[in-house]
Amino acid sequence: MKRPVLILMILALCRPIFAQEPAAPAQQPTTQQQQQQADAEARREAERIAAEKAREEARRKESEARLEEFKKLRPPTREERMATHLRLMGDFQKNVRRLEKTSREIVAMQSNDKGVAKKARSLNDTTSDVLKYVLFEANEPPPPPGTFDGFSVKERIRLLGEQSGQLYPALNEWSAAQKKFIVDVGKTTALIRDLQTFSLLVRSFYR
């Protein structure tokens, strides 16, 4: 009678050992893993965008190369060159305003101001750009004779103010006529001569 009871007790004690342990719940991805996944996706997207931009840039360069080859085979007509010249009118008008502004700044300076030469160099660059646009495809004629070396700096500043005051409205009138495809040879020739004279005066401040 004691033996069956003992066996039952032993089985009762061993049951937890042989019982199957419950399966561990599936691990959820950690915050670090999620961040790594997000970074990887962002890198892939950035690589895709960069590759697409590279392809677009390659197509653009190829298109420009073909256009250049076409231009070599067939030079642009005069009408096309004039149209291109007119498209650059906006830059020309900006330079005209810059010419007038820089001239006023020099006129407001004292004759012994060392900044006059620096301003004059900038003004001469702008004047050259304006003159190139007015010339279009024509060769620049020889500059008018004479120098401004005999004038004092104060007198040259006064002359610069007078000449720029005449140039500014003349340039605006010329550009307005250009927009209407009106070419006045006489006025254009006079404007070129005035710009050359003005450039000589401007260069005298730093030569």
- The pLDDT tens digits for 159-190 are 999 999 999 999 999 999 988 878 788 999 99
Residues 105 and 60 in one domain: no
Separation of alpha carbons 134 and 194, rounded Å: 12
pLDDT of residue 18: 46
CA 16 to chain centre: 80
Q: Is 60 exceeded by the pLDDT of residue 7?
A: no
Q: What is the mean pLDDT of residues 12-16?
A: 54
Separation of alpha carbons 74 and 80, rounded Å: 12
Neighbours of 164 (CB within 10 A): 22
Neighbours of 118 (CB within 10 A): 12
Q: Alpha helices, DSSP H only, in the chain?
A: 2-18, 31-73, 78-87, 89-107, 115-135, 153-179, 185-203
Confidence band of 195 (pLDDT split at 50, 70, 90): very high
Separation of alpha carbons 36 and 42, rounded Å: 10
pLDDT of residue 25: 52
**pTM, 2 dp:** 0.60
Residues 147 and 198 in one domain: yes
Query: Worst-scoring range by mean pLDDT, 8-17, 93-102, 111-120, 198-207?
Result: 8-17
pLDDT, tens only, 26-74: 555 678 888 888 888 888 888 888 888 888 888 888 877 876 776 666 6
Task: Determine what percent of the chain is predicted with pLDDT higher than 90.
Answer: 45
Q: Is 80 exceeded by the pLDDT of residue 10?
A: no
How many domains does the chain fold into? 2
Q: Is residue 31 part of a domain?
A: no
Q: Which amino acid type is present at position 58?
A: A
Domain boundary, last residue among 51, 75, 99: 75
Contacts of 192 (CB under 8 A, 6+ apart): 131, 134, 135, 140, 141
pLDDT, tens only, 114-128: 899 999 999 999 999
Residues 87 and 172 in one domain: yes
Separation of alpha carbons 78 and 45, rounded Å: 48
25 token code pair? 């719940």
Domain boundary, last residue among 56, 75, 94: 75
Angle between helices 89-107 and 78-87 (to 10 degrees): 40
Domain boundary, last residue among 75, 94, 123: 75
Q: Which amino acid type is present at position 9?
A: M
More confident call, 2 vs 32: 32
- Domain around 108: 79-203
pLDDT of residue 205: 95
Q: Is residue 87 part of a domain?
A: yes
Confidence band of 22 (pLDDT split at 50, 70, 90): low
Q: Is residue 19 part of a domain?
A: no
pLDDT of residue 17: 47
pLDDT, tens only, 82-131: 777 778 899 999 999 999 999 999 999 998 998 999 999 999 999 999 99
Residues 116 and 198 in one domain: yes
